[in-house]
Amino acid sequence: MFISVEGIEGCGKSTLVNGLGQYLQERSIDYVITKEPGSTSIGKILRSILLDKKQQISPLTELLLMFSDRLDHLDKVIKPSLDEGKIVITDRYIDSTYAYQGAGRGISKNIIDNLVSQTEIMLPDRTILLDISPEVGLKRASSRNELDRFESENIEFHKRLRKSFLDAAGANPDRFLTVDAEQEPYNILQSVINKLFPND
Ligand code: TYD
């Protein structure tokens, strides 16, 4: 099973991903937790460029750097792990590209759709969307560390991201599970586990 976890800044993805990992570990189920961008040695270099506030990066350059990271991630981490029968949980994947580079930076959906089909990247089996208002999410994110190139965008940018994620969830109800991310972390984890592993 290939699972992605998505949402705007400060929505609690890391907490959920860690909780899912612990749940799988306790049941001796093989899994891999990974993230985008930055899960391979090439990806780490791309990530440091992409998050660096000092870099001026055009929207299309940003899009292609994100895709380069994703293709390397698929080749070196995601596909080999799925081939070994592991559950793969990635913190961000393609829906972040539609949100950040599409809705955020203004690249047309058509361009991203074409890249997706030309590169034949695989879609996740399930995507968990942690939905939270940008006001609450950004407050959480800014209390944690210095804001990166994406986090320091204005509130309107983050509102567009949230709408893009919700629109994607609305258009793909079989793939998406949308959870109210203003709930307690324990409740979020339990409701995700109940949906992903209903027989447990
Ligand atoms: P990260 O520190 O991992 O942030 P977060 O904890 O919010 O996931 O930084 C990843 C950043 O990269 C995040 O701001 C979203 C952005 N991003 C894109 O813009 N497009 C993408 O396709 C992906 C995967 C991430």
Tell me the per-residue pLDDT of 22-56, one tens digit each, with 9 for 90 and over.
999 999 999 999 999 999 999 999 999 999 999 99
Q: What percent of the chain has pLDDT over 90?
A: 94
Whether pLDDT at 194 is above 90: yes
Protein residue whose Cα sits closest to atom 7 of ligand 1: 9
The CA radius of gyration of the chain, in Å to the nearest whole number, is 16
Is the pLDDT at 200 greater than 80, yes or no?
Answer: no
The confidence score (pLDDT) of residue 42 equals 98
Distance 161 CA to ligand 1 centre (A): 11
Report yes or no: 92 and 144 within 8 Å, Cβ to Cβ. no
pLDDT of residue 8: 97
**Residues ≥6 apart with Cβ < 8 Å to 141:** 9, 10, 147, 151
Amino acid at 54: K
pLDDT at 146: 86
Ligand 1 centroid–CA 37 distance in Å is 6
Indicate the angle between helix axes 59-73 and 109-119, nearest 10 degrees.
Answer: 30
Does the structure show a pLDDT above 80 at 171? yes
Bridge partners (DSSP) listed for residue 89: 3, 33
Which residue's alpha carbon is nearest to atom 10 within ligand 1? 37
Ligand 1 atom nearest the C-alpha of 9 is 7
Torsion of CA 81, 87, 92, 96, to 10 degrees: 90
pLDDT tops 90 at residue 91: yes
Distance CA 174, CA 187 (A): 22
**By alpha-carbon position, which residue is closest to atom 4 of ligand 1?**
9
**Does the global pTM surpass 0.85?**
yes
**3-20: per-residue pLDDT in tens?**
999 999 999 999 999 999
pLDDT of 145:
80
**Tens digit of each residue's pLDDT (9 = 90 or more) over 60-82:** 999 999 999 999 999 999 999 99
Q: How far apart are the CA of 191 and the centre of ligand 1, in A?
A: 24
> Based on the number of CB atoms within 10 Å of its own CB, is 8 exposed (0-12), middle (13-18) or buried (19 or more)?
buried
Pocket of ligand 1 (CB under 6 A): 9, 13, 35-37, 51, 66, 91-92, 96-97, 100-101, 150
